[in-house]
């Protein structure tokens, strides 16, 4: 699964640490998600969606297997 | 995320402290085969062939050390992180599965290679290795995560 959290974060102009604090996870989690090493839970995805004001589909995208 | 099966974070430091002492104690007892006199206690009585009643003494140093090793390893393994979230839960779970594989893999090898008293020693060590392997792998991954983070801005 691909995501553009890094881009969304740049648009909002916030750091990994700030984003982490806003959605209540550690900075490591944000970093792992941006690198595509971790697929977040639905709850976390919805929290990101709410924060960025974008649909989940606009942040996360399925990749062809 | 709420997890109700973990110990509070503040126990982590206490666990590390107990672990250090019990590890030193365990090394001392196994390597030097030394048991201090204070831990020699009377556990009961027995009757000799001549019909005399004599006290039975048992050194409880290894019991104390073994129990504190298990308790401290458990607390270290399963107390919450400072920032407990779903990603750390995933790493914890992965480490647990990995530790079980390694532990039983080694035990299978030990089944073939060791017999009698040697195998008994293997079993004694095996009481602690599962938790030990878990802790090593879990701590290593947390360390790796933190290191990766220091390159990012």
pLDDT at position A21 is: 94
pLDDT at position A65 is: 66
Nearest to B87 among A16, A32, A43 (CB): A32
What is the per-residue DSSP string for chain A? Answer: -EE-HHHHHHHHT--HHHHHHHHT--HHHHHHHHTTS-PPPHHHHHHHHHHHTS-HHHHEEPPP-
State whether B87 and A38 contact (CB < 8 Å). Answer: yes
Q: Are strands A2-3 and B53-59 parallel, antiparallel or unpaired?
A: unpaired
Residue A52 binned pLDDT confidence (cut-offs 50, 70, 90): very high
Mean pLDDT of A6-11: 94
pLDDT at position B36 is: 80
Instruction: Calculate the average pLDDT of chain A.
Output: 93
pLDDT at position B43 is: 84
Assess A47–B contact: CB distance below 8 Å, yes or no.
no
In the predicted structure, residue B153 carries a pLDDT above the cut 70: no
State whether B85 and A27 contact (CB < 8 Å). Answer: no
State whether A26 and B90 contact (CB < 8 Å). Answer: no
Which is more confidently placed, B40 or A32?
A32
ipTM over 0.85: yes
In the predicted structure, residue B133 carries a pLDDT above the cut 60: yes
The C-alpha R_g of chain B, in whole angstroms, comes to 20
User: Minimal Cα distance from B152: which residue of A?
Assistant: A31
Report helix angle B61-77 to B116-151, nearest 10.
30
Tokens of B36: 């201090």
Which three-class secondary structure string do you get for chain B? CCCCCCECCCHHHHHHHHHHHHHHHHHHHHHHCCCCHHHEEEEEEEECCCCCEEEEEEECHHHHHHHHHHHHHHHHHCECCCCCCHHHHHHHHHHHHHHHHHHHHHHHHHHHHCCHHHHHHHHHHHHHHHHHHHHHHHHHHHHHHHHHHHHCC
**Model confidence pLDDT, tens digit, residues B48-104:** 888 889 888 888 888 999 999 999 999 999 999 998 999 999 999 999 999 999 999
**Model confidence pLDDT, tens digit, residues B95-127:** 999 999 999 999 999 999 999 999 999 999 999
Q: Are strands B53-59 and B40-47 parallel, antiparallel or unpaired?
A: antiparallel
Q: What angle do CA B30, B134, B88 make, to 5 degrees?
A: 150
Which chain B residues are closer than 8 Å to A32 by Cβ? Answer: 87, 145
Phi-psi region of B81 (alpha: psi -120 to 50; beta: other; left: phi over 0): beta
Mean pLDDT of A43-64: 93
B152 min Cα distance to partner chain A (Å) = 8
Give the whole-angstrom CA distance, residue B95 versus residue B137.
Answer: 6
């Amino acid at each position: 699964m691909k995501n553009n959290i890094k881009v969304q974060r740049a648009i909002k102009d916030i750091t990994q640490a700030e984003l982490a604090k806003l959605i209540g996870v550690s900075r490591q989690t944000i970093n792992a998600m941006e690198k595509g090493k971790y697929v977040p839970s639905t709850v976390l995805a919805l929290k990101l969606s709410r924060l960025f004001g974008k649909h989940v589909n606009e942040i996360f995208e399925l990749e062809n297997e | 995320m709420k997890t109700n099966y973990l110990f509070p974070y503040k126990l982590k430091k206490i666990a590390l402290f107990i672990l250090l002492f019990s590890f030193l104690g365990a090394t001392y007892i196994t390597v030097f085969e030394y048991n201090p006199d204070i831990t020699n206690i009377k556990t009961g009585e027995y009757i000799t062939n001549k019909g005399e009643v004599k006290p039975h003494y048992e050194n409880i140093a290894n019991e104390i050390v073994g129990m504190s090793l298990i308790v401290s390893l458990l607390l270290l393994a399963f107390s919450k992180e400072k920032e407990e979230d779903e990603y750390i839960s995933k790493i914890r779970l992965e480490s647990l599965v990995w530790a079980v594989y390694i532990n039983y893999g080694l035990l299978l090898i030990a089944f073939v290679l060791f017999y009698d008293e040697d195998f008994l020693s293997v079993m004694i060590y095996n009481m602690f290795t599962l938790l030990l392997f878990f802790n090593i792998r879990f701590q290593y991954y947390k360390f790796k995560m933190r290191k990766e983070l220091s390159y990012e801005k």
